[in-house]
Amino acid sequence: MSYTPKKDRYESVPYERCGRSGLKLPKISLGLWHNFGDVDNFENARSMIQCAFDHGITHFDLANNYGPSAGSAERNFGKILSTDLAGYRDELIISTKAGYHMWEGPYGDWGSRKYLLSSLDQSLLRMGVDYVDIFYSHRPDPETPMEETMGALDQAVRSGKALYAGISSYNPEQTRLAARILRDLGTPCIIHQPSYSILNRWVEDGLLDALEEEGIGGIAFCPLAQGMLTDRYLEGVPEDSRAANPNGFLKSGAVKENIETIRKLAKIAERRGQSLAQMALSWVLRQPGITSALIGASRTDQILDNLGAAKAPPFSEDELHDIDEACGVKR
């Protein structure tokens, strides 16, 4: 069946300017890290992308190695883009990244100009697009000069293969250096993608300050802590859950270690009239430096639930205190 997006799709989620750039992002963005690869159900992936766009999620975040297999998330997204979303490219923000292992040999990993620009060309071919909106250095490379890595991002933008440059998982000092180099090249860094959640607060130790100083927007990945900050694990680790998969990033031991905290947070969310996932997203989005929260999903109903965080009421000081107390954080 042909797909026609909802006419009221821009009424579901607010949009925020990304740093000091002209780019606006939806408060909730969809990541294709999991559940969009060639081992997954294509029609389910298609339904999730349709659902997201129907509700104003215009930003779809990928990387060269998303799948599995590596590259398959980009290929599948390209198929959906060429059919369902063929007439809507200018309404979409498509991002991709390079920085982790992608192919064999010395040129398929990290942050060299050779790897980054070759990877971008491959990503464009897989998705069937002439450009991406944002191209990221996925992680800092300790053995490649920052000038080379940032120079590759600058070249990607100047070549027209990317509209904006971004970085991911850089610490505060690396972020300031990357921003200075790109600014001097005339291609500002507009966005940083760090991990950030109620259970993982490292960005508060200097990175958020660096983003504000440099005028860089933040988009938080894993705001639900790989799914721990949902109702999924309140009663333990289900056999069909991500944490039960021995090959996954989320380990059952991490769930067990955090279960009492998760249950306390769920009670606070209930008092706020939110699901735990909604509250976790609202908590991340309360930070002025966080432009968008990057969600993952395996079903359309998860996307719909997560959207409830975008227009949630602000936190009271008592609620923030209770969340910190549940996490053992002292202010």
Model pLDDT, residue 257: 87
Structure tokens at 232: 């999924």
Q: What is the pLDDT of residues 194-209, one digit of tens each?
A: 999 999 999 999 999 9
- The pLDDT of residue 244 is above 60: no
Structure tokens at 293: 């929260």
Cβ atoms within 10 Å of 163's Cβ, excluding its own = 17
- The pLDDT of residue 238 is above 80: no
The β-bridge partners of 94 are: 60
Helix (H, G, I), strand (E, B) or coil at 293: strand
- Would you say the C-alpha torsion 106, 111, 31, 223 has a positive or negative sign? positive
311 vs 4, more confident: 4
Q: What is the pLDDT of residues 297-306, one digit of tens each?
A: 999 999 999 9
Model pLDDT, residue 256: 84
Task: Find out whether the peptide bond into 123 is cis, omega within 30 degrees of 0.
Answer: no
3-class SS shares of the chain: helix, strand, coil, % to 5: 45, 15, 40
Structure tokens at 64: 């060269």
Cβ atoms within 10 Å of 104's Cβ, excluding its own = 8
Q: What is the pLDDT of residues 258-304, one digit of tens each?
A: 899 999 999 999 999 999 999 999 999 999 999 999 999 999 999 99
d(CA 18, CA 163): 13
Query: Which class would CATH give 12-228+276-314?
Result: alpha beta
79 vs 249, more confident: 79
Model pLDDT, residue 129: 98
Q: 314: exposed, middle or buried (C-beta count within 10 Å: 0-12, 13-18, 19+)?
A: exposed
Q: Residue 233's pLDDT band (boundaries 50, 70, 90)?
A: confident
- The pLDDT of residue 240 is above 80: no
Cβ–Cβ < 8 Å for 150, 144? no
Q: Please state whether 230 falls in left (phi above 0), alpha (psi between -120 and 50) or beta.
A: beta
Model pLDDT, residue 245: 65
- The pLDDT of residue 227 is above 70: yes
Model pLDDT, residue 234: 83
**How large is the average pLDDT for residues 182-186?**
98
d(CA 77, CA 231): 28
Model pLDDT, residue 232: 84
Q: Write down the pTM of the prediction.
A: 0.95
- Tokens 């821009």 appear where? 10
Model pLDDT, residue 134: 99
d(CA 25, CA 58): 8
The residue extents of the domains of the chain are: 12-228+276-314
**How large is the average pLDDT for residues 208-224?**
98
Q: What is the pLDDT of residues 21-74, one digit of tens each?
A: 999 999 999 999 999 999 999 999 999 999 999 999 999 999 999 999 999 999
